[in-house]
Amino acid sequence: MTAREPHPGVFEALRGLAREGPVEVVVRGGCMAPRIADGERVRVAAARFYLPGDVVVFRAADGRLLVHRLLGYRPWGGGLALVTRGDSCPVHDAPVPRAAVLGRVADAAPTFLGRLRAAWRFLGLVLRRR
């Protein structure tokens, strides 16, 4: 799911606002269907920690904002990067540096089973690479 970023400074401004309280983002696309529909407004708030199963909003390399589920973390660029994937997408995204994360979708808190499923998908990715 994507939203266009009109100006590079907008993301940093949104990030600052998301640290203070939830901001609204309109979702475009069907990557998270049926959980989150195209055109739906979601509230996004920054968090100290993101866990597998969380639905996060982040800035992709091309500047778009994406709404995808966190599967886990991997080493990348001297630190850790998030491994994400849309629920309806067949493949995971490129590594997402922590600095590119806007926040967690407030109304999409996963259940314990949802977190377990995300961790299982991540384990499948790790095992396929070996």
Q: Write down the domain spans for the chain.
A: 2-128
**Which phi and psi angles does 73 have, rounded to 5°?**
-130, 155
Q: What is the pLDDT of residue 98?
A: 92
Closest residue by Cα to residue 89 from 50, 39, 129, 36: 36
Question: pLDDT (tens digit, 9 = 90+) per residue, 48-104?
Answer: 999 999 999 999 888 888 999 999 999 988 889 999 999 999 999 999 999 999 999
Residue 130 pLDDT grade (very low, low, confident, very high; cuts 50, 70, 90): low
pLDDT averaged over every residue in the chain: 86
Q: What is the pLDDT of residue 116?
A: 82
Q: What's the CATH fold of domain 2-128? A: Umud Fragment, subunit A (2.10.109)
Contacts 24+ apart (CB under 8 A), 84-87: 84/56, 84/58, 85/121, 86/1, 86/31, 86/32, 87/31, 87/32, 87/33, 87/35
Query: Distance from first CA to last CA of the chain, Å, rounded?
Result: 30
How far is residue 56's CA from residue 98's CA, in Å, rounded to a whole number?
A: 11
Bridge partners for 28 per DSSP? 2
Q: What is the pTM of this model?
A: 0.82
Cβ neighbours, 10 Å, residue 113: 9
- DSSP annotation of 21: S
What's the maximum distance between 2 C-alpha atoms anywhere in the chain?
42
Q: What is the pLDDT of residue 10?
A: 83
